[in-house]
Amino acid sequence: MTCDIVTIAPKIEPSVVFEIPNEPEELPASIAEKMTPKMRYFGKIDKLRDEEMKKNLRSLFEVGFTNFDINKALL
């Protein structure tokens, strides 16, 4: 007894390729303006001058205290 195995190759359709723009100004405004909560929080930290406060605010965020204004007031 013999067994013949037939292999059928799937028909491959050309896939759609999206180009990702390299420059931020090429992004749609709705995407370019979106920031994560962490990005907003750390952006506020970057505006401060006191390095010790910056360090403490980063530490607070990392352990779950994510309200910048309350954290700053408590420090």
Identify whether 60 is part of a domain. yes
**Number of domains composing the chain:** 1
pLDDT band for position 39 (50/70/90)?
confident
Identify whether 2 is part of a domain. no
Give the C-alpha separation, 33 to 27, whole Å: 9
Biggest alpha carbon distance in the chain?
Answer: 84
Identify whether 62 is part of a domain. yes
Give the C-alpha separation, 38 to 68, whole Å: 10
Q: What is the pLDDT of residue 51?
A: 94
Between residues 54 and 35, which one has the greater pLDDT?
54
CA nearest 73: which of 63, 56, 62?
Answer: 56
Region of residue 27 (left: phi > 0; alpha: psi -120 to 50; beta: else)? beta
Identify whether 65 is part of a domain. yes
Q: Please report, for the chain, how many H helices and E strands are present, in that order.
A: 4, 0
